[in-house]
Amino acid sequence: MWPRRAIFDPRPLERHKVRMTTSPNVTAGPPRIFDRALGRMRLARAMRFGAATFLLERVVADMGERLDAILRPFPSALDLSTPGPQLASMLVAREGERAITRLAPIAQTLGDGPWTGIVGDEEALPFASESFDLIASALALQYVNDLPGALTQARRALAPDGLFLACMIGGRSLEELRIALAIAEDEIVGGVSPRVAPLADIRDLGGLLQRAGFALPVVDLDHMNVRYANVFGLMADLRAMGATNALEQRLRKPTRRAVFLRAAQIYADRFADLDGRVRATFEIIWLSGWAPHESQQKPLAPGSAKMRLADALGTKEQKV
C-alpha cells in the first residue's frame, strides 16, 4: 500500500512562519482560486501514468472506521468527487449501503464496480433534493472554488437524518514545501509566486457546515507525516496524485532550475531527520453533519434549565 520512498512518521511538525499572499481574480461570483479544468487534466495525467494512492487509501480506511462507529445503515450513498474509486469500493463492501452512486471528477477515475457512475462537478450537483442517506467525500473538496455552495448542495441532496462525512486537505499541509520554495524563489528571483494552494482552515469549517444547514456539525483534525529521501520524491508523488499547482494566479512561465535546487537544499537543512530523510506534513480535516430531523437532539431553550450551574458544579454562586 505504501510507496517505498514514503514512510509515515507520527512526530509532530515544529512551527515555522512564512507569510505568503495571493490575489484571486475578482469576479461576480465566488473568487476563482483554482483552475479546475487544469486540475482535472493533471488528475487525468496522473491516472494515465500510474497514480499515487497511498494517501487516499489511508483516509478511506479511516472513513470506514468512522462509519463503523455509527450503528445504522445508509441504504443510498453518494461518493462525492473522490479522485479515485477506493471510497466507492469501501461503501460497496459495507452491509448497509445498497445503492451506491459515484460522482467522479473525470471519466478515468470512475472505476469498475457495482455502482452508478457519473462524471460531474461537486459545485453543480446533478441530483434531486433528498436523494441520499449518506454523502461521503475524500480528498476532493479542498479544490472547489465555492466551498459554501458545494456544502449547501450536498445538504440539499441529503434525505432527512442523512449523514454528510468528508475529509479534505487542510491549511497547514505541505508547510515545509511552502517555506522552502518561498525562501528559494525570493533569494534567486527576488519575489514569491503562488505555488501551494491557500487551503481551508479548521476554524472556518464548522461555521460553513452550520451555514449550509447541517445539524450536529463536527470538525476534527488529523496529521500525517510522510518521509522522503529528498524533496524531489515528494514532488514526484504530488505529480502522481494530480496535486501540482493549479492556482489561477500561478506563475505562467517555467521556474528556473536553480530555484528547485536551492529549495531542495533549504528543505534538507530545515526539515531533515537524523537519518537524512525529509518530512512532509499532510493536515487532514474531517467534516460531518446531519440533515435535520425531528428525532435529533436539540439544545434547550434559554432559561429552561432546572438546576443552577453552581449546584451542578458544587460551587457557591458569586454575585457581582
pLDDT at residue 301, rounded to an integer: 56
CA distances from 231 to 100, 179, 255, 276 (A): 39, 12, 16, 12
CA 23 and chain centroid, separation: 22
- Supply the range of the domain harboring residue 71: 19-313
Q: And the C-alpha cell for 8?
A: 509515515
Phi first, then psi, for residue 170 (nearest 5°) are -95, 175
Q: Give a yes or no: residue 7 inside a domain.
A: no
Q: How many of the other CB atoms lie within 10 Å of CB of 204? A: 13
Three-point CA angle 220, 203, 11, nearest 5°? 50
Query: Do 123 and 146 meet the contact criterion of CB atoms below 8 Å apart?
Result: yes
| pLDDT above 50 for 258 | yes
Rounded to whole angstroms, the Cα distance separating 299 from 192 reads 48
pLDDT band at 319 (very low <50, low <70, confident <90, very high): low
CATH code for position 74: 3.40.50.150
What are the DSSP calls for 107-152, one per residue? GGGS-SSSSEEEE-BTTB----TT-EEEEEEES-GGG-S-HHHHHH
Which has more pLDDT, 239 or 190?
Answer: 239
What predicted TM-score, i.e. pTM, was given to this entire model?
0.80
Does residue 6 form part of some domain? Answer: no
| Rounded CA separation 179/184 (Å) | 9
pLDDT, one tens digit per residue, over 138-191 is 999 988 889 999 999 999 999 999 999 999 998 889 999 999 999 999 999 887
pLDDT band at 203 (very low <50, low <70, confident <90, very high): confident
- The per-residue pLDDT for range 117-143, each reduced to its tens digit, is 999 999 999 999 999 999 999 999 988
Residue 168 identity (one-letter amino acid) = M
| Residue 257 to residue 243: CA distance in whole angstroms | 20
Mean pLDDT for the stretch of residues 16-38: 58
Q: Does 249 reside within a domain? A: yes
Per-residue pLDDT at 261 exceeds 90? yes
End-to-end CA distance of the chain: 62
User: Is the confidence at residue 306, as pLDDT, over 70?
Assistant: no
Mean pLDDT of the 53-64 span: 95
Q: Tell me, yes or no, whether 3 lies in a domain.
A: no
The CA dihedral of 208, 105, 284, 296, to the nearest 10 degrees, is 50
Closest CA to 173 of 143, 206, 217: 143
For residue 215, is it within any domain? yes
Question: Is the pLDDT at 222 greater than 80, yes or no?
Answer: yes
Q: Tell which residue, 10, 74, 59, 19, has the closest CA to residue 290.
A: 74
Q: Which three cell numbers stand for residue 92?
A: 460497496
Is 230 within a domain? yes
Whether residue 175 is contained in a domain is answered as yes
Q: How many domains does the chain have?
A: 1
* Confidence at 95, pLDDT banded by 50, 70, 90: confident
CA distances (Å), origin 288, targets 63, 165, 216? 11, 5, 8
Structural domain contains residue 4: no
